[in-house]
Amino acid sequence: MGRGYDDGMRVAVEICRILDRNPDSAMSDLRKALPRTWATPTMSPWCADTEKYEVLARIVGRLEAKAEAGETVGGRAIDRVVTVNGARVILDNGAWGLVRASSNTPNLVVVCESPESEAEMRAIFADIDAVIRTEPSVGDYDQSI
């Protein structure tokens, strides 16, 4: 069902479809049936509005190069890099790390998620952050893990 980007309206439609297919189940029961995942908060390192899209393009290029070279992120093989509005690095177990430019603040946006463990989520963030830190114009995060 995913298309590689965040879309609140799409999520609402999919939730309605799931509820329609499960008329005897409460949404809370359906949620409890989902597998556990570990995710970072949405973290936003500062990057000037005048530079963030150029900075992001270089970061995306570095992440694509890691994938092409057969490198890992968080100790996992990179399955693919989706480059819609930034880069979502999807790993071989479904874990992922995302970096994109904020549309309304002078920041980048970073989120990571693992279906395996908190340790893997942190390792994914560390590797994504290492790529981000190659850009000297990227500043401090508003929050971190």
Alpha carbon separation from 144 to 27, 34, 50, 105, 126 (Å, rounded) = 31, 26, 24, 18, 11
Question: Mean pLDDT throughout 51-68?
Answer: 98
| CATH class as words, domain 36-132 | alpha beta
Q: How far apart are the first and last CA of the chain?
A: 29
Q: Where are the domains of the chain?
A: 1-34, 36-132
Identify which has the larger pLDDT, 92 or 144. Answer: 92
Q: Does the pLDDT at position 5 exceed 80?
A: no
Identify which has the larger pLDDT, 1 or 58. Answer: 58
Q: Does the pLDDT at position 1 exceed 80?
A: no
What does the pLDDT read at residue 11? 85
> How many Å apart are CA 139 and CA 143, to the nearest integer?
12
Question: Mean pLDDT throughout 70-93?
Answer: 98
What does the pLDDT read at residue 4? 52
Q: What is the pLDDT of residues 17-38, one digit of tens each?
A: 999 999 999 999 999 998 899 9
